[in-house]
């Protein structure tokens, strides 16, 4: 079933409107017809099970073409993680960032913040950054639709390492996987702290890893270095590995809370 995201003002008593790019994708790309069923999500993460009721192909009274969908029911199932998880990903080489964003969204992150750290090979000027950001946000939206997310995670504009540390100042859990960190004790302690309702920040380094000075700076900001095991992981593998742990731990904790209430 095709999935769309709309702003709240497009949800009316008469139905939900798909306009602009949503209209173009629904009518000209997917070629939806009246009666077909679709899912529409609002900014609050509410999912509406709808059917196409009207397709207006011509502008009327200042309003452009639109598709109007009738709401059948509101889906109660929540596809979002029960905690806020933000990935601070240092810029990798080539197009690896696209893969990382796609998988991070599938695994439930709230946002992705690209970070310029000392050992980043890829450097973005303002023009390249704008183009990349639009591309990355489109990938996030497509991944959200594919994985039945109720919200589209935001991909932020790239920031420096110090600014990234400042951004996560109010988070409950702040982690930075580091290849020089020995033993899994800190990681085990971190896993226990992944509980619903918390804000979790994860820093992932570039191909060259974090500079020791950056790790010292992270420690001063209460970002805890952790180990992901005895093997050296590629930057994209490290992101997927720790986000998978967080996702599974949070969903297990949420189910345990549900069972305890029963």
Q: Domains of the chain (ranges plus CATH)?
A: 2-75 (2.40.240.20), 84-259 (3.40.1280.10)
Compare 143 and 44 and report the one with higher pLDDT: 143
Quick one: pLDDT at residue 73? Answer: 87
Burial class (CB in 10 A: 0-12, 13-18, 19+), 25: middle
Q: d(Cα 72, Cα 90) in Å, to the nearest integer?
A: 43
Q: Name the percent of the chain lying above pLDDT 70.
A: 96
What would the mean pLDDT of 190-207 be, rounded to a whole number? Answer: 94
Quick one: pLDDT at residue 61? Answer: 63
Dump pLDDT digits (tens) for 238-248.
Answer: 999 999 999 99
pLDDT at 168 over 90: yes
Quick one: pLDDT at residue 261? Answer: 46
pLDDT at 257 over 90: no
Q: d(Cα 132, Cα 112) in Å, to the nearest integer?
A: 13
Compare 64 and 257 and report the one with higher pLDDT: 64
CB 97 within 8 A of CB 235: no
Reported as a pLDDT band with limits 50, 70 and 90, residue 136 is: very high
**What is the reported pTM?**
0.82
pLDDT at 122 over 90: no
pLDDT at 127 over 80: no
pLDDT at 235 over 80: yes
Compare 61 and 110 and report the one with higher pLDDT: 110
Q: Whose CA is closest to 194, among 176, 214, 177, 173?
A: 173
The whole-chain average pLDDT of the chain stands at: 91
CB 65 within 8 A of CB 25: no
Quick one: pLDDT at residue 62? Answer: 67
What would the mean pLDDT of 11-35 be, rounded to a whole number? Answer: 92
């Amino acid at each position: 079933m095709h999935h769309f995201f709309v702003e709240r003002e497009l949800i009316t008593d008469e139905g939900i409107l798909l306009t602009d790019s949503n209209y173009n994708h629904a009518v000209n790309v997917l070629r939806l017809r009246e009666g077909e069923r679709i899912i529409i999500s609002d900014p609050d993460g509410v999912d509406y099970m709808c059917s196409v009721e009207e397709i207006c192909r011509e502008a009327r009274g200042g309003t452009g073409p639109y598709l109007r969908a009738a709401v059948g029911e509101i889906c109660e199932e929540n596809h979002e993680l029960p905690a806020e998880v933000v990935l601070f990903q240092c810029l990798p080489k080539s197009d690896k960032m696209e893969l990382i964003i796609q998988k991070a969204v599938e695994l439930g992150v709230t946002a992705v913040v690209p970070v310029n750290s000392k050992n980043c090979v890829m450097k973005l000027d303002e023009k390249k950054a704008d183009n990349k950001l639009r591309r990355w946000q489109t990938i996030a939206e497509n991944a959200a639709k594919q994985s039945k997310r109720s919200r589209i995670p935001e991909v932020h504009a790239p920031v420096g390492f110090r600014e990234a540390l400042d951004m996560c100042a109010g988070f409950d859990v702040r982690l930075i996987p580091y290849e020089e960190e020995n033993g899994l004790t800190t990681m085990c302690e971190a896993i226990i702290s992944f509980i619903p309702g918390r804000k979790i920040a994860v820093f992932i380094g570039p191909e060259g890893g974090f500079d020791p000075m950056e790790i010292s700076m992270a420690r001063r900001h209460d970002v805890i270095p952790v180990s992901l095991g005895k093997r050296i992981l590629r930057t994209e593998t490290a992101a997927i590995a720790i986000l998978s742990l967080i996702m599974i731990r949070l969903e297990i904790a949420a189910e345990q809370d549900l069972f305890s209430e029963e």
